[in-house]
């Protein structure tokens, strides 16, 4: 077994992701994460204290990786708006597939946050982070702080809420054709960009 000071929080987050992919979200425990990382449950507890804190770290890690990728796409693209929209929608769509565990974790934490001030605060911080990054991305390709008289701050909140709302629909409505929904969103956004 590895020594506690040898394993990092990042190692444990990766172990937790593997556990979820291999065994499902319901089998995620501090013990299973420790076993996957070759350490004791106590070592995982030392880093996270609760399963909720571990789940928040997983969601934060996935969220930050996704937004960093989108920021890089925006920086590298000559046709920033269209490419960024397509990449952002593809990233969101992949989180809405039945096999994706991101929104299962995210929505579980939102539900927990309704009765847990610490979790609510951390999830609120995550949503603020997402809104700020999204606002910055929108401003970078429209070149202004308003679109159709609405601030980019409000647009970022609306689009973020739309994606999270679609996650609820995907998880709860069995026959929802999420692929067609995303095709419609892309068509709407690209037409709006063409008219700008």
Measured distance CA(183)–CA(194) in Å, rounded: 16
Domain match, 128 and 173 both? yes
Chain mean position to CA 182: 17
Q: Which range of residues forms the domain containing residue 32?
A: 1-49
Domain match, 157 and 113 both? yes
Q: pLDDT tens digits, residue range 95-147? A: 776 667 888 888 888 988 899 999 899 999 999 999 998 898 888 777 788 88
Domain match, 81 and 174 both? yes
Domain match, 7 and 98 both? no
Q: How many helices (H) and strands (E) does the chain have?
A: 9, 2
Domain match, 155 and 84 both? yes
Domain match, 37 and 67 both? no
Q: Strand pairing partners for 150?
A: 147
Residue 4 has a pLDDT of 47
Q: Give how many domains the chain has, as a whole number.
A: 2
* Mean pLDDT across the chain: 83
| Single residue among 34, 49, 64 that ends a domain in this structure | 49
Domain match, 41 and 20 both? yes
Q: pLDDT tens digits, residue range 25-69? A: 788 889 999 999 999 899 999 999 888 888 888 888 888 887 877
Q: What count of other Cβ atoms lies within 10 Å of the Cβ of residue 161?
A: 12
Domain match, 190 and 144 both? yes
Domain match, 101 and 26 both? no
Domain match, 79 and 33 both? no
| Single residue among 49, 64, 84 that ends a domain in this structure | 49
Q: What count of other Cβ atoms lies within 10 Å of the Cβ of residue 187?
A: 10
Residue 105 has a pLDDT of 84
Write the CATH number for 10: 1.10.10.60
* Integer CA distances (angstroms), 42 to 14, 28, 32, 84, in order: 17, 15, 12, 43
Mean pLDDT of 15-21: 86
Write the CATH number for 130: 1.10.357.10
Domain match, 61 and 44 both? no
């Amino acid at each position: 077994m590895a020594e506690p000071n040898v394993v990092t929080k990042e190692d444990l987050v990766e172990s937790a992701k593997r556990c979820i992919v291999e065994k499902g979200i319901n089998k995620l425990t501090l013990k299973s994460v420790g076993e996957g990382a070759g350490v004791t449950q106590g070592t995982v507890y030392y880093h996270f204290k609760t399963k909720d804190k571990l789940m928040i770290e997983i969601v934060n890690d996935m969220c930050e990786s996704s937004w960093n990728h989108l920021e890089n796409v925006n920086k590298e693209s000559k046709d920033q708006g269209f490419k960024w929209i397509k990449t952002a929608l593809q990233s969101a769509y992949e989180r809405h597939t039945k096999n994706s565990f991101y929104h299962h974790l995210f929505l579980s934490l939102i539900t927990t946050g309704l009765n847990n001030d610490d979790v609510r605060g951390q999830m609120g911080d995550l949503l603020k982070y997402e809104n700020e990054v999204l606002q910055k991305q929108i401003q970078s390709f429209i070149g202004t702080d308003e679109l159709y008289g609405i601030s980019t701050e409000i647009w970022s909140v609306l689009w973020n809420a739309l994606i999270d709302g679609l996650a609820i629909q995907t998880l709860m409505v069995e026959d929802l054709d999420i692929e067609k929904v995303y095709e419609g969103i892309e068509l709407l956004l690209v037409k709006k960009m063409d008219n700008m």
